[in-house]
Structure formats: structure tokens, C-alpha cells
A and B are shown apart, each in its own frame.
Chain A
Amino acid sequence: MSALPSAVGRTLTQTGEDGSQSAGQSVAEEAFLPTCEEVPCAPNILRPEGEIKLEARSLNMYYGSFQALRNVSMAIPERRITALIGPSGCGKSSFLRCFNRMNDMIDGFRLEGDVLLEGNDIYRRDLDLAYLRKRVGMVFQAPNPFPMSIYDNIAYGPRLHGRPDRSELDQIVEQSLRQAALWDEVKDKLRQSALGLSGGQQQRLCIARVLAVQPEVLLMDEPASALDPTATFHIEELMLQLMEHYTIVIVTHNMYQASRVSQYTGFFLMGELVEFGHTEQIFETPRDKRTDDYIRGRFG
């Protein structure tokens, strides 16, 4: 483990770089992690201003003897889109899955450090996992609608978490499908199997299915990688609309996608969070040489 630079050192670095770059203007207005004595973190990790929805502190994650994450600390702002980029196997998906504890069922999974949702540890013993996952929803890489009707897919979550009556359920289904920009396409065939929809429609259905349980956070694991450009465009438009009400974290292979939709971007490499900051700063004036190389397509 390399020696951590002091808070003073980091502040100096920041000032030096921002002084010469116009794009970094907004960065200068925000402070870097102020409590680095308490929470050790790597340099070039921005602590966003405003409400912090999710936070990871000094995460070390292992699958058996393989270390998937190395001392990752990141604060994710509320009602913003945060993109996680990096080459395959860099740990970005593993990191994403820490926030709804989807790694728990993997054999040999072990986690050190803290993961906080609004300041509360989500790995504590008495945590209600179902409640956590209701608050922190997830959209997967490949659309995974259940082999049941469109209506029942959307109603699945609400039925788990309560006993909504018919009219409530109808309302939730319509509202969720409208939010996911799918209502007009499926309103006449709600009773038909969800498997009859196209890939892009299925993915929006999966988004609607998550929205139906009224989560606060949306974790999206490469939600458009299995889709064609038109469907991808739909999903990205949708994310920008959803940002008003939801905190969104998206893992993506596609750097253009990250730059199009997100306000914050984190770059992962070999289990390490190399750099985290405003998306434009990361893409235009990366501080770390490795980020620069990756953005410019020198590897990955």
C-alpha cells in the first residue's frame, strides 16, 4: 500500500491544475474529501457537493483469494447520474453490486470497509435485505423480463412489498410504464407475454419493473450493451428524465455513453478507483495518466 498523500498536498495539486484549466472551474468550487485522516482515499477522488446518497469507504473486496476492489472510496451524489467506466474485469460491476448486496450470494465473497446509504451501513447484520433492494433497484446488462405478462412483470415488485388492490396496481403499472416511456407501445397488450417485446422494449420494461417499487437509487449494469443504437438512445433519454427523481449509477463499457449521460464519472482499473470527478473534467482534463490513456483509447 502506497503512502497516502496528506490533505494539504492534495489541495495544492488541485489548485495547481485548476488554475490552468477553464473546464475545471466547477471542480474548484467543490472540496476534495475533507476527512482523509479518517477515511483513507486515493488522490484525484472528488467528493461531490450536495447531498450524498451512497458512499463507499475504503472498500476491499475479495472473491476467494482474488481481490476485486482495492481500497475504493467514493461518494455518489443524490439525483445525479454517476458513470463507472473502465476495462473489463476492472471491478466496476463488482463495485456497483455492493450497493444492493447482489454479491452476497457469490461463493467466497468477502468485503472490508463500509457501504453507506444515506449514512447508514447497509452491511450491518440486522439489515432488512428486501427493504434495501426496494430502495436500491437494479437494471441488468441483458433484459431479464419474467416469463409472464407485461402487467404481471410490473406488478411483481409491488405485490412482493404489499397487498395492493386492483385499482392501485393498475395505477402503478400505468405510471411505471409511462415513466419508462413504454406505455404507448404496450398499453393495448398488457396481458400479453413480456417475452414478445423487442430487446429495447424489454429493457425499458425491466426499468419500469424497478420503478414500480419506487426505489430511490437505480443501479444500471451496462443497461444498453445488449441493445441496438436506437434502443440505446431511448434508454439514455430515459435516464436523463429519471435523474430528476432518482440517483442513478451506471456501469458502462461505452465511454461516449458515460460522457453523454453522466455528471460524474469514476474510472476503475484493476480493482482500483483511479479517478473520480465531474464527467467533463474526467474526459477533457484527466489528472491521472492512466485515465488519460484509457480515455484516448490507448488501452482497454
Chain B
Amino acid sequence: MRSTKPRRWGERLIEGAIKSTGIATIVFVLLIFVFLLKDSLPLFGHAKQTASLLGTRWLPTSEPEQFGLIPLLLGSLYVTLGAMVISVPLGVACAIFIAELAPQWLRELLKPLVELLAAVPSVVFGALGVLLLGPWFAKTLHLPVGQFAALGSLLLAFMAIPTIVSVSEDALHAVPRALRAGSLALGATHWQSITRVVLPTARSGLIAAGLLGLGRAIGETMTVLMVTGNAAVIPQGLKGFILPVRTMTATIAAEMGETAHNSTHYFALFFIGLLLFLITLVVNVVAEVVVHRMGREAK
């Protein structure tokens, strides 16, 4: 809608500045996409290497080169799924505690602490895993190695928890007080009200919280590079969790420095980047749609 009043130039300037930053964000994302395409598509000019993408071996320096993505995809899947299994229940439980059960003073203490968890650099988590947790787990559980998929999952879980907690908490807070009161007035206990009214009402928001946590975990690089062992093998069953794996992100980080510019290996790494970009894009879009639906339901 156009205002009929003549607006002052200062206002226009500010509005223009804000608009251009918004547009810049979109342009950056598009540019990232374009450059990923540009540096990964030449891979498909090499028929042999293209065929190897669906293979089970990632051997970029052997002769002939093999770029089987399956172990890397499965590696990422194992580590990320493991992280979700740990972080979603913990994060949602933590959000329920903060939003519904904790007394005021504890809530005010917990919220910044959880947010502080998000500020810990990932290399610190990695160091924690490599130096402390890994050897400890290997010793106590008699594992063959101290670097394995589940250790990455555990640390990633703690990195995803702040996201999950804060989004879940927002979702719980968005549940109108009148609904809680209505439930209590019908003779429900506090706990019954939480499980039967508050959680179902906040459902979409909780799903979105999990998805955003997933987005956070899947793209994480430094920690998994340090603690998951980086063996590009296909994980087998549940045992795969206690053995080394290699994720897509760790592969790029570990090998990018050693490849020749514009080699097939280089293109393959960019192709992994493109895949990661698409996966996170899909996860975030789905999360966004779910959050949007939550907003509509709340109305």
C-alpha cells in the first residue's frame, strides 16, 4: 500500500538500506549456490568418475580415482541421527522444564546457561571429545578405538541442544495460558495438562525445533572431523555407531587443502558441498513450513 503523505528522504534512505540488506542476503545464498554448481558440475564431464559416485568406495587418490559417496552419506546420516536421538528428547525435556516447571529464579539462570552452550566453539567440543571422552569411553566400554560415530553424535547433540531448547521453549510459551487454565479447571494435574494439552498444541513448534537442530548438526564440521575417526567405510548396523565413520563435512575439510585446483577430486569435493547445501536447504524449508503452520494453528 502506498502512503499518500510525502515521505522524508531520511526515511526513504533507511528503508532503502534495510531493503538492500535483505536483498543482499538472498543474492549471497544464490551466489553460493551458483559457485557450488560451477565448481561441481565439471565432474560430470568425466564419465568414469561420475559413475563412481554411486559406489561404495571413497578413494580420491588411488588409480583410478573412486568417488563413492555412499560411505560419506551414511557416515553423516549415522552421526546426525545419533545426535537427534540424544538431543531431541533432552532438548524438549529441558524446554518443558524451563517453560513449565522451573521456578522463576531457576528459569532465569538456566536460559542464559543453555544459550552459553551455543557459544562454545566447536573446536572446543572436538578437543573435549578427542582428549577426554574418547579415551574414557574406549577404556570403560572396551571399544576398539576412541574415535567413533556415537561420540560425534554425543557432542553434536550438545551443540544442537541450545537451538532445540530455545525454539521448543518459544513454542511452549506460545500456548495460551487460557488452555492451561481450562485443563486445570477440569481437574487435570499439572503434568496431565502439559502432556495432553500443552505438548499437542505446541506440536508443530517442537517438530520445527527438532528440524532446526538437525540442520545445525548436519552441517557441523570441526567436531566430527576431530572425533569420528574419518574412516570412509560403510557403517554396518548398530555396530556402526561404535566404529569410525567419515562425514561429508569432515571429508571436505580434511581434503580440500590437499587437492589440485580444478582436478576431479576438487570437483567431487564441491559436489559434496552442493549436496550438503541442498540437504540443509530442504531441512530448513520444511522447518519453516512447519513453523508457519504453527503460527496459523495458534490463530
Q: How distant is A96 from chain B, measured CB to nearest CB, in Å? A: 11
- Measured CA separation A107–B188 after assembly (Å): 20
Contact, CB under 8 Å: A160 / B192: yes
**A130-B187, A209-B186, A213-B187 known; A147 and B201 CB under 8 Å?**
yes
Query: Counting chain A CB atoms within 10 Å of each CB, which of B188, B197, B201 scores highest?
Result: B188
- In-complex Cβ contact of B187 among A107, A142, A147, A160 (8 A): A160
Q: How distant is B205 from chain A, measured CB to nearest CB, in Å? A: 12
Give chain A residues whose Cβ lies under 8 Å from the Cβ of B104: 107
Does A134 belong to the interface (CB within 8 Å)?
A: yes
Contact, CB under 8 Å: B182 / A137: no
Interface residues of A in 151-179 (CB under 8 A from B): 156-157, 160-161
B76-84, B173-181, B225-233 - interface stretch:
B173-181
Q: How distant is B216 from chain A, measured CB to nearest CB, in Å? A: 28
Over the window 124-160 of chain A, the binary record of Cβ atoms lying under 8 Å from chain B Cβ atoms (1 yes, 0 no) is 0000011111100110101010111000000011001
Give chain B residues whose Cβ lies under 8 Å from the Cβ of A156: 183, 186, 188, 196-197
**A144-B176, A144-B179, A160-B192 known; A102 and B185 CB under 8 Å?**
yes
Does A27 belong to the interface (CB within 8 Å)?
A: no
Give chain A residues whose Cβ lies under 8 Å from the Cβ of B201: 146-147
Q: How distant is B171 from chain A, measured CB to nearest CB, in Å? A: 13
**A147-B201, A147-B297, A148-B200 known; A137 and B185 CB under 8 Å?**
yes
Does A247 belong to the interface (CB within 8 Å)?
A: no
Contact, CB under 8 Å: B185 / A146: no
Give chain A residues whose Cβ lies under 8 Å from the Cβ of B183: 146, 156
Give chain B residues whose Cβ lies under 8 Å from the Cβ of A107: 104
Give chain A residues whose Cβ lies under 8 Å from the Cβ of B262: none
Does A85 belong to the interface (CB within 8 Å)?
A: no
Does A239 belong to the interface (CB within 8 Å)?
A: no
Give chain A residues whose Cβ lies under 8 Å from the Cβ of B200: 147-148
Q: Across the interface, name the chain A residue whose C-beta is closest to B186.
A: A157
**A144-B176, A147-B201 known; A133 and B184 CB under 8 Å?**
yes
Does B189 belong to the interface (CB within 8 Å)?
A: yes
- Measured CA separation A90–B176 after assembly (Å): 25
Chain B contact residues, majority secondary structure: helix
Contact, CB under 8 Å: B186 / A137: yes
Q: What is the number of residues of chain B that contact chain A, defined by CB distance less than 8 Å? A: 19
Contact, CB under 8 Å: A133 / B187: yes
- In-complex Cβ contact of A140 among B182, B188, B192, B297 (8 A): B182
Interface residues of B in 62-101 (CB under 8 A from A): none
**A102-B181, A140-B181, A206-B182 known; A146 and B197 CB under 8 Å?**
yes
- Measured CA separation A59–B236 after assembly (Å): 70
Contact, CB under 8 Å: B187 / A161: yes
Q: Across the interface, name the chain A residue whose C-beta is closest to B298.
A: A147
Contact, CB under 8 Å: A133 / B189: no
Contact, CB under 8 Å: A210 / B181: no
Q: How distant is B203 from chain A, measured CB to nearest CB, in Å? A: 9
Query: Counting chain A CB atoms within 10 Å of each CB, which of B104, B176, B184 scores highest?
Result: B184
Contact, CB under 8 Å: B186 / A160: yes
- Measured CA separation A40–B189 after assembly (Å): 35
Q: How distant is B102 from chain A, measured CB to nearest CB, in Å? A: 14
What are 24 A-B interface contacts by the 8 Å CB criterion? A107-B104, A129-B187, A130-B188, A131-B187, A133-B187, A134-B186, A134-B187, A137-B185, A138-B185, A140-B178, A140-B182, A140-B185, A144-B178, A146-B182, A147-B179, A147-B201, A147-B297, A148-B200, A156-B183, A156-B197, A160-B192, A160-B196, A209-B182, A213-B186
Known: A130-B188, A133-B186. 14 other contacts (CB 8 A): A102-B181, A102-B184, A138-B185, A140-B178, A140-B181, A142-B178, A146-B179, A146-B183, A146-B201, A156-B197, A157-B186, A160-B188, A206-B182, A210-B186
Top 3 closest pairs, chain A to chain B, by CB: A144-B178, A134-B187, A133-B187
Give chain A's interface residues, CB within 8 Å of chain B. Answer: 100, 102, 105, 107, 129-134, 137-138, 140, 142, 144, 146-148, 156-157, 160-161, 206, 209-210, 213
Give chain B's interface residues, CB within 8 Å of chain A. Answer: 104, 176, 178-179, 181-189, 192, 196-197, 200-201, 297
